[in-house]
Amino acid sequence: MKKIKIPHTDLEVSLLCAGCMDLAGRWQKVSLTAEHEAQARAFLDAAEELGVNFFDHANIYAHGRAEEVFGRVLREHPSLRGRIVLQSKAGIRWADDPAGTPMRYDFSREHLLEAVEGSLRRLGTDHLDILLLHRPDVLWEPEEIARAFEALKRAGKVRYFGVSNQNRFQMEHLQRHLSDPLVVNQLEMNLLHHGFAEAHICFNQRSPRYPDGWEGVLEYCREQGVQVQAWRPLAQGYLSGRSPEGQPEAVVKTAQKVAELAAQHGVSREAIVAHPHEPALANGRDRLQGDRVGGPQWSAPWAPTAPQPQFATPQQPEFSTPPQPEDCVRATLQTLPPGAATSHCCCLKSRSSLAGTIRRSLI
């Protein structure tokens, strides 16, 4: 699989980032089992086979069990740590942490340092390659965040820093107080969550659909060399094979249109959804064995062997009536700038099957 260098770092990462949110039972409050460990081993084995070396965690995923089970497998293969890039997130606190407090964001220096220590302990490593602030905290103090970042870097516990789900102005505000550049912004981007496209399409039109917050985000990230990571790019699998039964009509029609375009151009549905800017990522690889493992989902977002599909330029839509799914698909596919794959990374995670989704992406 092709590797890209994250700007402002020495990290060479796969174009796909494997999201680990679904490891170890998701949000259920259960103890780790042998089944969870087997799932994590299969996950890491499949990643290594495909050339995926980039893994995305958060200290809250599965109430910490996702990092813990990943760390157990990592300890079984100590040499693997030097071949992978570990990213985790911090800043969200569960209710009753401590007792009597609500679920909330917390970017205090104390909490960030404590959260990183917990992640390192569970993962069984002495450092994170990247730490992201997990969504914005309305009460954040950028000077305090800067002190936390400096302490973590000075101690060798975190190499680089980034954010998730932040707009341009939040990033600019934080960056003014940091000595090192932010290197990542992880954002939800897919055909069912397409504010990044509508911010361009709907500007200066009579439309209630104009998405506040997206103005200039992609442009700022590109100018500043911030890698954009798309989380949930397959919309929880609804656009790559998961049944949309019971979902709103827009979801059903968009999934149908993605399937039609994939069949028309002879590529996987993942290739349509994830906007093919780059050539083949996988070619001629045998199918992975097994069906559902109930674990994380990630797949090759670009076509394995077929020519890249060409899409006709749509007319600028008038939103007096809601756009049709085909217009959304085409407009979104044309929104990202040429060459964007050199600075964008897909971080895939949902309830869809790991092996099944990988298999679909390789055939």
The H-assigned helical ranges of 155-284 are 168-175, 195-201, 217-224, 249-265, 269-273
Confidence label for 205 from pLDDT (cuts 50, 70 and 90): confident
Task: Tell me the average pLDDT of the chain.
Answer: 79
Confidence label for 279 from pLDDT (cuts 50, 70 and 90): very low
Between strands 92-93 and 104-105, the pairing is antiparallel
Active site residue 61: yes
Distance between CA atoms of residues 11 and 4, nearest Å? 8
- For the chain, percent of residues with pLDDT exceeding 90: 60
Mean pLDDT of 247-260: 95
Contact between 226 and 174 (Cβ < 8 Å): no
Q: What pLDDT sits at residue 280?
A: 25
Q: What pLDDT sits at residue 204?
A: 76
Q: Both ends of the chain: CA-CA distance in Å?
A: 15
Q: What pLDDT sits at residue 72?
A: 97
Residue with the bigger pLDDT between 1 and 254: it is 254
Q: Would you say residue 109 has pLDDT above 90?
A: yes
Q: What does the CA dihedral 132, 133, 136, 142 come to, rounded to 10 degrees?
A: -120
Q: What pLDDT sits at residue 346?
A: 63
Q: Would you say residue 343 has pLDDT above 50?
A: no
Distance between CA atoms of residues 346 and 229, nearest Å? 6
Q: Would you say residue 316 has pLDDT above 50?
A: no
125: nearest Cα among 156, 148, 147: 156
Q: pLDDT for 133-156, tens place per residue? A: 999 999 999 999 999 999 999 999
Is this structure's pTM higher than 0.85? no
Amino acid at 341: A
Confidence label for 210 from pLDDT (cuts 50, 70 and 90): low
Q: Would you say residue 314 has pLDDT above 70?
A: no
Amino acid at 241: G
Q: What does the CA dihedral 308, 309, 313, 318 come to, rounded to 10 degrees?
A: -120
80-89, 98-107, 209-218, 312-321: range with lowest mean pLDDT: 312-321
Residue keyed to tokens 């407090």: 101
Q: pLDDT for 220-234, tens place per residue? A: 999 999 999 999 888
Contact between 141 and 85 (Cβ < 8 Å): no
Confidence label for 357 from pLDDT (cuts 50, 70 and 90): very low
Supply 185's token pair: 């912004």
Distance between CA atoms of residues 112 and 26, nearest Å? 22
Mean pLDDT of 120-129: 98
Q: What pLDDT sits at residue 202?
A: 77
Q: Would you say residue 283 has pLDDT above 50?
A: no
Confidence label for 118 from pLDDT (cuts 50, 70 and 90): very high
Own/partner long-range contacts of 314-322 (Cβ < 8 Å, ≥24 apart): 316/201, 317/201, 318/205, 319/202, 319/205, 319/206, 319/207, 319/209, 320/206, 322/250
Burial class (CB in 10 A: 0-12, 13-18, 19+), 181: middle
Q: What pLDDT sits at residue 317?
A: 34
Residue with the bigger pLDDT between 216 and 108: it is 108
Q: pLDDT for 21-58, tens place per residue? A: 999 988 888 899 999 999 999 999 999 999 999 999 99
Three-class SS state of 98:
coil
Contact between 231 and 349 (Cβ < 8 Å): yes
Contact between 191 and 273 (Cβ < 8 Å): yes
Domains of the chain: 3-362 (3.20.20.100)
Supply 45's token pair: 């084995």
Mean pLDDT of 171-179: 97
Q: Which of 61, 105, 160, 210 is catalytic?
A: 61
Contact between 294 and 39 (Cβ < 8 Å): yes
Buried/exposed code over 310-344 (b: 16+ C-beta within 10 A; e: otherwise): eeeebeebebeeebebbbbbbbbbbbbeeeebebb
Q: What pLDDT sits at residue 360?
A: 38
Q: Would you say residue 290 has pLDDT above 80?
A: no
Residue with the bigger pLDDT between 76 and 329: it is 76
Q: pLDDT for 49-104, tens place per residue? A: 999 999 999 999 999 999 999 999 999 999 999 999 999 999 999 999 889 999 99
Helices H / strands E in the chain, number of each: 11, 12
Contact between 228 and 291 (Cβ < 8 Å): no
